[in-house]
Structure 1
Amino acid sequence: MGDLILLRHGQTEWSKAGKHTGRTDVLLTTVGAASAASLAPMLAKRQIVAVFTSPASRAVWTAELADLEGAGGRYPVKQDPDLWEWDYGGYEGMTTRQIQEQRPGWYLWRDGVISGDAEHPGETVSQVGARADRVLARVAPLLRDGDVALVAHGHVLRVLTARYLELPPDGGRLFRLDTGTVSSLGTEHGEPVILTWNVPPSP
């Protein structure tokens, strides 16, 4: 069995500012692009048989810069809408501090989001979990042949990790995940485990 390789996209201006970035298509910063490219040597050592990215430009570009597609073209890369970030609804583009000015003590994993406009209706953590479950079901057969890489966003990858570990979706709150990092999920004695977590590029 292969491992499930998780890449959180590189830094954007919104992630740098702590803004909730769901469906807004924000590009990588110069720092974010450099960190994504720095992941390539680490990933070149893996036996990756398939790559899936969020449709967001920041995820697609991270996959290209990390040499998962583009110049090397080693792996077939597919966009998966189920890897979009959590839809933050009316909290899109806001920082936690700004939201807490309106809702003191607000905590995403417990309190969720409010509805926004037609492009940002919002999601519950259970809905994000259902998307993560669909991704895991699709990649499971591929892991028999080698590693599978998923390039996506902080919250959806945290929820996906919780579901992989057979935890409820809100178990994702336990796993901090920084931009431009690589994590891996696998098994030990047949049980799902975290193998590595939140690993930055080599200096």
Structure 2
Amino acid sequence: MGEIVVLRHGQTEWSLSGQHTSVTDLPLLPEGEEQARRLRGEFGDRRFAAVWVSPRLRAQRTAELAGLTPTATDEDLVEIDYGGYEGRTTAEISEEMGRTWSVWVDGTIPGATPGETLQDVGARVDRVLDRARPLLEDGDVVLVAHGHVLRVLTARWLRLEPAAGALFALPAGSYGVLGHEHARPALTGWGLH
């Protein structure tokens, strides 16, 4: 049985500064490109049934530099739509609210884009997992995408609610492995470089 490899794109200007990035299509920083290049040899022993990549430039470039050949670009892998919080940091949002804000608890607000609930994101990643599961008979499935969406996907793989993604911090340029232990979904590797 194959595994699902979840790979977060390399460092961008906004991931470095802590600004929430969904629809803003930023390139990788030189450090982000180096993070992706360092992954090139990590997957040599794996047989890939599929490599699906978010359409955002930062994810596409990470896949390329990591030596992965995408088999599909998947809109369901885009980052959470932060709506009015796009480009803002948690500290800025918290200061405005007068209390600590968390996307996992408080969600998003409409802005230039409508924003998205964790339930909406959960529905998107459930579609990804539904498409990926049958392919695991033939090998591994690699998903190259973004921090928060991959954290929600990990929670859903483990049969948890979308907000449980808060438990799975995934640094830029790192990856995790979703597999099975005694026929149950399991987290078999995390924060790997």
Unaligned runs of 5+ in 1: 70-75
**Residue 92 (structure 1) aligned to one of 86, 101, 104:** 86
Q: TM-score, normalized by length of structure 2?
A: 0.98
Q: Deviations over 1:120-139 (max 9, x none)?
A: 21000100000010000011
Q: 2:137 aligned with 1:137, yes or no?
A: no
1:1-203 equivalences in 2 (<5 Å):
1-69=1-69, 76-103=70-97, 104-117=99-112, 120-200=113-193
Give runs of ≥4 in structure 1 deviating > 6 Å. Answer: none
Counterpart contact for 1:3–1:185, Cα < 8 Å: yes
Distance 1:33 1:130 in 2: 31
Give me the CA root mean square deviation. Answer: 0.8
Q: TM-score, normalized by length of structure 1?
A: 0.93
Q: Deviations over 1:43-94 (max 9, x none)?
A: 122111210000000000100000012xxxxxx5210000000000000000
> What SS is found at the alignment partner of 2:191?
strand
Distance 2:154 2:143 in 1: 11
* Residue 107 of structure 1, CA deviation: 1.5
Instruction: Name the amino acid aligned to 1:135.
Output: V
Counterpart contact for 1:68–1:77, Cα < 8 Å: no
* Residue 113 of structure 1, CA deviation: 0.9
> What SS is found at the alignment partner of 2:46?
coil
* Residue 106 of structure 1, CA deviation: 1.4
Distance 1:107 1:65 in 2: 32
Instruction: Name the amino acid aligned to 1:147.
Output: D
Distance 1:175 1:199 in 2: 13
> What SS is found at the alignment partner of 1:7?
strand
Distance 1:190 1:179 in 2: 30
Distance 2:140 2:23 in 1: 28
Distance 1:136 1:25 in 2: 25
* Residue 162 of structure 1, CA deviation: 0.3
